[in-house]
């Protein structure tokens, strides 16, 4: 084979090698683009998962605060129960002491009755027909007359005193009995109410703890999903790095091959220049052959570049747009012009108040945000210029009762908690009400799900 033919073959090999070197990275680049697109989607999912986790953490923090409030309310209620029990014990001691006094009184009364019986018996034994006047007139001398008058007066006075003391002791006894029994009954009623409230608070705590557990479970699942997405993303990133490393190695190999081919071509050129046996016929033949082969090489290169161009172009489908879900909001008109003020009056106490049994009835309680349910309702309406009673039983009659399906903002809603109609609040619309709850203080609560949905009794009163 002549040196020129060798040179042509080497040049053709170089061109084919270069075409291969550029074609492989193009294919690899498309793979990287596809993987990078997958990574973009994964990173978007990771970002959404992170947002969900943050929201769940906020909910968890809120639940922890709510549980702390409930535990504080339970602790305060426990103390009230202890104090009430102590008062009951003290009152029972008072009753024991009173029983001793009653026994002493009964003994005195019994003695007086014996005295009266003896006098009556003595009177009967004397014939029963001797009057005090006869006793006085039967005296034989003036001195005896004076003595008999004094004796009769003393007897009459003694009888009257005995009867008077008898009546006074009986009245005192009845008064003490009534007072102590009333106090004892009041304390027992308070104990029952406090125990009922404590049971309600425990139910709310159990529900809150259950909700917290669900949130923690959801957070754990979301964390696991996020970790899975991050692992997939790391895998794709490693895959991209591996492809890029392979591209780099492939380019280095092709560069090395090109350098080797360049050196070989240079050696052939050097050898061709030093040859001394060129002939015109062989030159023409070589020239003709070289042109033909060069033309073939150019055609092959063109086809290679054309195929590379075709392989690198691809149509990508356009992403379909998702329609946004429309949100509808419902609103109800207040039942009267004053209800709006009654509803908004309590907003300043949301998250800034504490439930207090019997609270909201003094300036000090109101200033410090201390309310019970009925006290808050009465105070809120008073800010709107409407005077309402401050007890759940009285509030049931503070207006006309309407159907639950027709309730409007400003209506009073009642719940069976520790007793029938044991809790009351002001409906604000959207299935929610504002009230002073034992576990949260003044707050807006959902009455269409959870605890308050279970205890809502359907009573709705529209304030006149």
Quick one: 295 exposed, middle or buried, by C-beta within 10 A (0-12, 13-18, 19+)?
Answer: exposed
How far is 138 from 140, CA to CA, in rounded Å? 6
Of the pLDDT bands very low, low, confident and very high (cuts 50, 70, 90), residue 442 is: very high
Contact 386, 338 (CB under 8 A): yes
How far is 77 from 127, CA to CA, in rounded Å? 72
Q: State mean pLDDT over 444-462.
A: 95
Q: What is the pLDDT of residue 426?
A: 95
How far is 191 from 185, CA to CA, in rounded Å? 10
Q: pLDDT of 49-104, one tens digit each?
A: 888 999 898 888 988 888 888 888 888 888 888 898 898 888 888 888 888 887 88
Q: What is the pLDDT of residue 443?
A: 94
Better-predicted residue by pLDDT, 329 or 194: 194
Task: Return the DSSP state at 346.
Answer: G
Q: Is the pLDDT of residue 381 over 60?
A: yes
Q: pLDDT of 3-25, one tens digit each?
A: 455 445 445 444 444 444 444 45
Matching residue, tokens 């409930």: 70
Q: Is the pLDDT of residue 317 over 70?
A: no
Better-predicted residue by pLDDT, 323 or 118: 118
Q: What is the pLDDT of residue 18?
A: 44
How far is 227 from 121, CA to CA, in rounded Å? 106
Dig out the tokens for 109 from the structure: 């009364």
Better-predicted residue by pLDDT, 436 or 157: 436
Rounded (10°) angle between helices 3-125 and 280-312:
10
Q: Is the pLDDT of residue 254 over 50?
A: yes
Of the pLDDT bands very low, low, confident and very high (cuts 50, 70, 90), residue 431 is: very high
Of the pLDDT bands very low, low, confident and very high (cuts 50, 70, 90), residue 139 is: low
How far is 198 from 150, CA to CA, in rounded Å? 71
Q: What is the pLDDT of residue 225?
A: 87
How far is 324 from 227, CA to CA, in rounded Å? 29
Q: pLDDT of 337-357, one tens digit each?
A: 467 788 888 889 998 899 999
- Bridge-based pairing of strands 456-463 and 399-402 is antiparallel
How far is 453 from 100, CA to CA, in rounded Å? 53
Q: Is the pLDDT of residue 380 over 50?
A: yes
Task: Work out the percent of the chain whose per-residue pLDDT is above 90.
Answer: 26
Better-predicted residue by pLDDT, 215 or 320: 215
SS3 17: helix
Neighbours of 208 (CB within 10 A): 21
Q: Is the pLDDT of residue 385 over 80?
A: yes
Contact 32, 233 (CB under 8 A): no
Of the pLDDT bands very low, low, confident and very high (cuts 50, 70, 90), residue 333 is: very low
Q: pLDDT of 156-166, one tens digit each?
A: 676 677 778 77
């Amino acid at each position: 084979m002549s040196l020129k033919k060798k040179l042509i073959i080497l040049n053709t090999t170089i061109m084919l090698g270069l075409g291969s070197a550029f074609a492989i990275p193009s294919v690899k680049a498309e793979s990287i683009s596809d993987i990078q697109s997958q990574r973009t989607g994964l990173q978007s999912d990771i970002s959404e998962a992170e947002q969900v986790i943050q929201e769940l953490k906020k909910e968890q923090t809120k639940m922890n605060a709510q549980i702390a409030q409930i535990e504080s309310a339970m602790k305060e209620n426990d103390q009230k129960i202890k104090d009430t029990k102590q008062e009951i014990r003290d009152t029972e001691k008072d009753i024991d002491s009173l029983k001793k006094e009653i026994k002493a009184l009964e003994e005195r009364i019994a003695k007086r009755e014996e005295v009266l019986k003896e006098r009556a018996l003595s009177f009967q034994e004397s014939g029963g027909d001797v009057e005090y006047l006869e006793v006085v007139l039967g005296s034989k001398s003036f001195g005896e007359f004076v003595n008999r008058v004094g004796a009769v007066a003393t007897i009459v006075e003694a009888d009257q005193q005995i009867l008077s003391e008898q009546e006074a002791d009986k009245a005192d006894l009845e008064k003490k009995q009534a007072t102590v029994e009333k106090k004892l009954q009041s304390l027992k009623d308070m104990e029952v109410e406090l125990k009922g409230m404590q049971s309600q608070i425990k139910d709310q705590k159990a529900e809150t703890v259950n909700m917290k557990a669900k949130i923690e479970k959801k957070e754990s699942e979301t964390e696991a999903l996020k970790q899975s997405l991050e692992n997939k993303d790391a895998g794709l990133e490693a895959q991209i790095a591996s492809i890029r490393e392979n591209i780099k190695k492939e380019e280095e190999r092709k560069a090395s091959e090109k350098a080797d081919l360049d050196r070989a071509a240079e050696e052939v050129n050097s050898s061709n220049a030093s040859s001394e046996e060129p002939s015109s016929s062989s030159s023409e033949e070589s020239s003709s052959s070289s042109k033909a082969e060069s033309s073939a090489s150019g055609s092959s290169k063109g086809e290679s570049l054309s195929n590379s161009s075709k392989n690198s172009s691809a149509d990508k489908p356009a992403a379909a747009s998702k329609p946004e879900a429309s949100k509808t909001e419902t609103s109800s008109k207040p039942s009267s012009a004053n209800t709006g003020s009654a509803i908004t009056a309590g907003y300043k106490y949301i998250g800034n108040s504490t439930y207090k049994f019997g609270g909201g009835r003094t300036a000090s309680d109101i200033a410090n945000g201390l309310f019970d349910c009925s006290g808050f309702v009465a105070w809120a309406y008073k800010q709107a210029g409407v005077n309402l009673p401050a007890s759940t039983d009285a509030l049931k009659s503070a207006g006309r009762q309407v159907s639950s399906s027709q309730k409007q903002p400003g209506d009073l809603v009642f719940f069976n908690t520790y007793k029938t109609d044991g809790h009351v609040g002001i409906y604000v619309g959207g299935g929610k009400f504002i009230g002073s709850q034992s576990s949260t203080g003044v707050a807006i609560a959902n009455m269409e799900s959870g605890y308050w949905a279970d205890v809502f009794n359907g009573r709705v009163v529209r304030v006149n």
